[in-house]
Amino acid sequence: MNRLSTLLASLLTATALAVAAGCGGGTDGDGAAVGADGSVDLSKVTLRVGDQKGGQRALLGAAGELDGVKYRIEWKQFTSGPPLLEAVNAGALDVGAVGNTPPVFAAAAGSKIKIIAAADIGLTGQAVLVPKDSPIRTPAELEGKRIAVAKGSSSHYHLLTVLKRAGLTFADIQPQYLAPPDALAALSSGKIDAWAIWDPYTAQGEAQAGARILVDARGYTTGYQAIVAADRALSDKAKAAALRDYLARQRRALLWANDHVKEWGAVWAKDTGLPVAIAEKAAERRAARLIQVDDTLVRNEQQIADAFADQKLIPGRVEMADFVDRRFNDIDIQAK
């Protein structure tokens, strides 16, 4: 194991164990919820869901999709996708929603996870921001600059593609690996030259820091939002039944948000503490299209994995086809 993979594994283990301690390590599985005849009593199932502020809990609640849930949902909040997936791998969570890149970093770390559902989210809110008075006008001018990004996030890959098209690599910039709130503060105070980020933080940066979009993600990457579950949960009949119901609700909620931008924006604002105008702008830019866990998704995820491997930002090659589970593609979102 080389130095990079050793460090990645150590960070994964340390963070996962800490999160597991905080979230609790028990599971409610076959023994408690599956009857002798093989039927599942969902009232005896607890689904542990990783979330981000203004994320799935707020969305499903706004859409009315938390009404009538027969199983218990335990929500745990994270700042971004990578630590959420570390908790999934550690056994502290069953499932969570992340962008297109965290599954790649999780796979490279040997995590026991699978992508089980996905949607394609609008790309205009995923952007590289610069201060409004910045002299930077083209991606090529990012060379040598201090650029904030959440490591292993969808914006990490977006930044990589922007640099590559401009003839640059990560070795040509000064990456600053910061969580979104810290990056916003750094941008506002002039401590960084640019920030690769997603909505609603993009809208927040524009409104509160006066930042401008240097380049958005159109033509650079996918807008995939992946629902990722633990192998342990997927192998548990009771958990898998709860996941099937949860996914139907989550997918209906995404479509509801497309048609109820103002209502969703108001809830999003309340949950995040953002001004309503910022949340509405982000909600409008994040219109979702439901997609299948299919060969196209695998091919796009593999492209991300290969790009990071080429830059030696993950330890070696991974086969993303080994990290998907297609069993939920037949979900009927009309049934409730």
DSSP label of 309? H
Q: Which residues contact 201 (CB under 8 A, 6 or more apart)?
A: 180, 183, 184
Beta-ladder partners of 119: 225, 290
Q: Tell the burial category of 36 from Cβ atoms under 10 Å away from its Cβ (0-12, 13-18, 19+).
A: exposed
- pLDDT of 58 > 90? The answer is yes
Please, which pLDDT band fits residue 12 given cuts at 50, 70 and 90? very low
Half-sphere exposure of 61 (CA within 13 A, CB side): 13
> What whole-number distance in Å separates Cα of residue 39 and Cα of residue 249?
21
Q: Which residue has the higher pLDDT, 188 or 30?
A: 188
User: Using one digit for the tens of pLDDT, what is the confidence trace for 117-175?
Assistant: 999 999 999 999 999 999 999 999 999 999 999 999 999 999 999 999 999 999 999 99
Cα–Cα distance for residue pair 50/57, rounded to 1 Å: 9
pLDDT in tens, 228-283: 999 999 999 999 999 999 999 999 999 999 999 999 999 999 998 999 999 999 99
> How much is the average pLDDT of 100-121?
96
SS3 173: coil
Lowest mean pLDDT among 28-42, 116-130, 191-205, 319-333: 28-42
Question: What are the beta bridge partners of residue 115?
Answer: 228, 324
* Distance, CA of 173 to CA of 76 (rounded, Å): 34
Quote the mean pLDDT of the chain: 90
Question: Which tokens in the block code for residue 292?
Answer: 């299948």
Round to whole Å and give the CA distance between 172 and 139: 12
